[in-house]
């Protein structure tokens, strides 16, 4: 497909780096420059606590070319060049699905879908600053300089993702876009009066294991949502999401390898101490590592919270957004059906008379369920990689994903209690068994007790192994963050 090559380069001359020709668009340039101080205030108030004067070895996008878009250098976070970056336009792109399938992709907002589109952009935009807020205290307890740097990389990129959505609001939605952009800086994760829009983004991320689980499970929801929006018939949204996906991959890498390293360290410590039973929890904890059943419980928690982000399994909103050509399916362009789902059905899991059954429903109304299924399959691949560590170490343990009915607050399973195997259980049974399936206060206290910072080059906390590869081909003992002293 033809591309405009010139758009790959990013203009770093002005206040706002961009590859959207902001210099020739004075109205939007002014709007973004007006929004900028509020953003910096938000970053200072709600971004990482401390370390704002530290030099952090960060990557910055210098082009949107999939090969070689990043430059690594020491940057103070408040001086990070947040900007507006869109993937190259595919000339002649058509709307790939829905009732407008085959028509030219929209370069302007179609009037009849304005409200729906704005809502999709605002919901996506709201998650970006939310996760920065959730993670703001973690710098204090980072298990190494390498991990500290990764946290900050994720944080500045989530900040940039907010910029990405705010650009769309400012450029295409006039006054209400401007108001939404302001609101995005006002809501706060976990606050009662003006919380972030989605549940999982109001939960706490109190420790580094939570951070790794969050980036593995919840950033992966981000990937699925962005992938569905990257199919959008509204071309600027598609292009911005395509570029965001390249950044998102690193966030999931941080989560997946963070958990892998945690597992690895636990297995090493168990083997060195001659412990083979993963349930010998007190002895394992005494080694200063996280026992495997607790890891499983953390996975159960973050997986189930994230599933709620997919919304109701059966949803008219999802059907409308698809019909309108605004939000597609995961890898829509690789699917080989009619892309309109006119007569198609899709199986949806739901509770019926104390059991969980599959029911075929019109595929259009089951799009959230379908995206969630794609998500579960994607997450399972990463979990499979964690399990290789046990196999290699010869420790008899596996992490498994709980049943999708487990611990749900939204959708079909919100009204029932189910165990991790997907058996519907009575409320009393749930209360009795809860602490065996979700982290207990005691588990959380133990994890918290391990969260002591390591700030020497090449040093790692007791509970986590060094990474196999550094960042930007640097060694593990590289000074990834130069902390002001």
Q: Is the CB of residue 437 less than 8 Å from the CB of residue 402? A: yes
Q: How far is the CB of 222 from Fe ion (least distance, A)?
A: 5
Q: How far is the CB of 301 from Fe ion (least distance, A)?
A: 19
- Piece in contact with Fe ion (CB under 5 A), picked from 67-75, 125-133, 275-283, 396-404: 125-133
Rounded to the nearest 10 degrees, the angle between the axes of helix 292-307 and helix 235-272 is 170
Comparison of 224 and 367: residue with beta carbon closer to Fe ion: 224
Structure tokens at 356: 């969980």
Binding-site member from 180, 219, 308, 313 for Fe ion (CB under 5 A): 219
Question: Residues 423 to 462: which contact Fe ion by CB under 5 A?
Answer: none
Name the residue nearer to Fe ion (CB basis): 97 or 217.
217
Residue 57 three-state SS: strand
Stretch that binds Fe ion, among 4-12, 174-182, 213-221, 469-477 (CB under 5 A): 213-221
Reduce the DSSP state of residue 114 to 3 states and report it: helix
CB of 42 to Fe ion, least distance (A): 15
Q: What's the rounded Cα separation, in Å, for the pair 164 and 173?
A: 14
Joined together, the tokens standing for residue 71 give 């430059």
Nearer to Fe ion, 160 or 265 (CB): 160
Total binding residues for Fe ion by CB under 5 A? 7
Which of 162, 324 has the CB closer to Fe ion?
A: 162
What is the contact mask toward Fe ion in residues 251 to 290, using x (rule: CB under 5 A)? x---------------------------------------
Exposure b/e, 301-310, CB count within 10 A at least 16 = b:
bbbbbbbbbb
Mark the segment that binds Fe ion (CB under 5 A) among 53-61, 122-130, 353-361, 381-389: 122-130
CA 325 – CA 319 distance, rounded (Å): 10
Q: Which is nearer to Fe ion, 113 or 330 (CB)?
A: 330
Q: How far is CA 208 from CA 197, 218, 292, 399, in A?
A: 24, 14, 16, 18
373 conformational bin, left if phi > 0, alpha if psi -120 to 50, beta if neither: alpha
Residue 417 CB, shortest distance to Fe ion, in Å, is 31
Tell me if 223 contacts Fe ion by CB under 5 A. no
Complex with Fe ion: residue 59 or 251, whichever CB lies closer? 251
Minimum distance, C-beta of residue 143 to Fe ion, in the bound complex (Å): 20
Whether the Cβ atoms of residue 335 and residue 379 lie closer than 8 Å to each other: no
Q: Which of 227, 250, 423 is nearest to 332 (CA)?
A: 227
Q: How far is the CB of 158 from Fe ion (least distance, A)?
A: 5
CB-CB contact of 61 with 149 (8 Å): no
Apex 318 CA angle, 315 and 322, nearest 5: 145
We find the least distance from the C-beta atom of residue 128 to Fe ion, in angstroms, to be 5
Residue range at the interface with Fe ion (CB under 5 A); choices 27-35, 218-226, 295-303, 374-382: 218-226
Q: Which stretch binds Fe ion (CB under 5 A): 139-147, 154-162, 257-265, 429-437?
A: 154-162
Choose between 149 and 251: whose C-beta lies nearer to Fe ion.
251
Residue 164 CB, nearest approach to Fe ion (Å): 8
Span from 7-15, 134-142, 240-248, 446-454 in contact with Fe ion (CB under 5 A): 240-248
If the CB atoms of residues 246 and 340 are measured against Fe ion, the closer one turns out to be 246
CA distances from 224 to 21, 219, 236, 373 (A): 29, 9, 18, 10
Q: Which residues of 363-397 are buried (b: 16+ CB within 10 A; e: fewer)?
A: bbbbbbbbbbbbbeeebeebbeebeebbeebebeb
| 22: CB partners within 8 A, 6+ apart | 11, 14, 16, 28, 29, 32, 84
Three-state SS for 318-369 is HHHHHHCCCCCCCCHHHCCCCCCCCCCEEEEEEEECCEEEEEEEEHHHHHHH
Does residue 133 touch Fe ion according to CB under 5 A? Answer: no
42-50, 244-252, 301-309, 374-382 -> range binding Fe ion (CB under 5 A): 244-252
Contact region with Fe ion (CB under 5 A), list: 27-35, 121-129, 363-371, 470-478: 121-129
Per-residue contact string for residues 386-425; x = within reach of Fe ion by CB under 5 A: ----------------------------------------
Residue 189 or 294: the one with the smaller Cβ distance to Fe ion is 189
Task: Give the residue with the Cβ less far from Fe ion, 172 or 201.
Answer: 201
Q: How far is CA 237 from the centre of its chain?
A: 18
Instruction: Report the distance separating Cα 153 and Cα 314, nearest Å.
Output: 36
Judged by CB under 5 A, which stretch of 99-107, 170-178, 245-253, 398-406 contacts Fe ion?
A: 245-253
CA gap 179, 186 in Å, rounded: 11
Instruction: Tell me: does residue 161 bind Fe ion (CB under 5 A).
Output: yes
C-beta of residue 123 within 8 angstroms of C-beta of residue 243:
no
Q: How far is the CB of 131 from Fe ion (least distance, A)?
A: 7
Q: Which is nearer to Fe ion, 225 or 420 (CB)?
A: 225
Residues at the contact surface with Fe ion, assessed by CB under 5 A: 128, 158, 161, 219, 222, 248, 251
């Amino acid at each position: 497909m033809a591309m405009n090559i010139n758009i790959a380069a990013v203009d770093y001359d002005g206040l706002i780096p961009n590859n959207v020709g902001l210099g020739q668009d004075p109205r939007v340039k002014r709007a973004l420059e007006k929004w900028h101080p509020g953003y910096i205030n938000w970053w200072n108030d709600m971004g990482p606590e401390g370390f704002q004067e530290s030099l952090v070895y960060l990557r910055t996008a210098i082009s949107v070319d999939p090969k070689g878009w990043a430059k690594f250098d020491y940057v103070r976070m408040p001086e990070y060049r947040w900007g507006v970056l869109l993937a190259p336009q595919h000339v002649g792109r058509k709307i790939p699905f829905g009732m407008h399938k085959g028509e030219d992709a929209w370069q302007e907002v179609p009037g009849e879908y304005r409200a729906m589109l704005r809502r999709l952009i605002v919901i996506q935009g709201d998650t970006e600053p939310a996760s920065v807020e959730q993670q703001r205290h973690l710098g204090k307890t980072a298990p190494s300089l390498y991990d500290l740097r990764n946290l900050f990389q994720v944080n500045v990129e989530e900040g940039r993702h907010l910029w990405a959505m705010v650009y769309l609001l400012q450029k295409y939605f006039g006054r209400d876009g401007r108001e939404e952009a302001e609101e995005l800086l006002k809501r706060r994760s976990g606050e009662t009066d003006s919380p972030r829009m989605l549940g999982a983004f109001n939960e706490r991320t109190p420790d580094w294991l939570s951070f790794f689980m969050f980036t593995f499970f919840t950033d992966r929801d981000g990937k699925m949502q962005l992938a569905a929006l990257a199919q959008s018939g509204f071309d600027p949204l598609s292009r911005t999401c395509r570029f965001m996906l390249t950044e998102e991959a690193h966030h999931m890498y941080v989560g997946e390898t963070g958990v892998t390293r945690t597992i690895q360290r636990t297995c090493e410590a168990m083997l060195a101490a001659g412990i083979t039973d993963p349930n010998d929890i007190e002895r394992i904890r005494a080694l200063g590592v996280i026992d495997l059943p607790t890891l499983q419980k953390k996975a159960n928690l973050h997986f189930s919270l994230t599933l709620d982000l997919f919304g109701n399994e059966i949803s008219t909103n999802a059907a409308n957004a698809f019909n309108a050509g605004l939000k597609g399916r995961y890898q829509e362009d690789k699917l080989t059906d009619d892309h309109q789902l006119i007569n198609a059905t899709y199986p949806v899991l739901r509770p019926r008379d104390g059991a969980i059954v599959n029911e075929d429903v019109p595929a259009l109304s089951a799009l959230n369920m379908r995206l969630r299924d794609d998500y579960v399959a994607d997450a399972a691949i990463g979990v499979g990689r964690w399990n290789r560590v046990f196999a290699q170490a010869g420790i008899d343990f596996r992490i498994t994903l709980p049943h999708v009915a487990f611990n749900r607050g939204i959708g079909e399973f919100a009204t029932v209690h189910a165990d991790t195997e997907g058996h519907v259980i009575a409320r009393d049974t749930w209360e009795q068994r809860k602490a065996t399936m979700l982290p207990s206060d005691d588990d959380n206290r133990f994890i918290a007790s391990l969260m002591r910072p390591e700030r020497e080059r090449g040093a790692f906390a007791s509970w986590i192994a060094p990474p196999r590869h550094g960042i930007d081909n640097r060694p593990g003992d590289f000074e990834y963050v130069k902390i002001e002293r």
